[in-house]
Amino acid sequence: MERQPTSPVARTRQVNRRGFALIEILCVLAIIGLLAAIILPAIPRATSRAKLESFAVETAALLKADRSAALRRQIQVTTQIDAEARSIRSGVTGRVIRLPGDVTVEAMLASRCADRAAGRSIDFFPSGMSCGGVIALARPGMGYEVRVNWLTGGVDIVPQKLL
């Protein structure tokens, strides 16, 4: 059997040996912080609802700018849509919108337009008309359709509720 110290100073020393020093606690917190800084950036971030909406608005703005340029310059403007590469390229400025990998991109475009094969683009004409089409951007639970009216060339964003 171990003898218990009887003096108050000896008891205080024994109690202090059982606890943790401040430096030990700080070291543990520093290690946890370092691990978090290494691991958290590696975790893939899903596209939020707001970010998906901003991609739809950005896509609509690009299409509207191409339509306006066609009207203003009295030329035909072609906006390229590449659903596999998740990109949309302006026919006027060459600006490209690149969508992240967790966003599903589907393009429903006219197969023929103005007596030529289309299929991968939306053309805007000097009259304001277009080939029309729908670009669907989706993630689990939420989606948006950017619709281009063939008759008016107008661009609308329609939210979709997905399961």
Q: Domain 49-161 has what CATH class?
A: alpha beta
Element at 122 (helix H, strand E) = strand 121-124
Alpha carbon of 136 to those of 53, 63, 81, 159: distances in Å?
Answer: 11, 14, 11, 10
pLDDT tens string, the chain, 163 residues long: the values are 556 656 666 555 555 566 678 888 999 999 999 998 888 777 767 788 889 999 999 999 999 999 999 999 999 999 999 999 999 999 999 999 999 988 999 999 988 887 777 778 999 999 999 999 999 999 888 999 999 999 999 999 999 877 6
Delimit the domains of the chain by residue range.
Answer: 8-42, 49-161
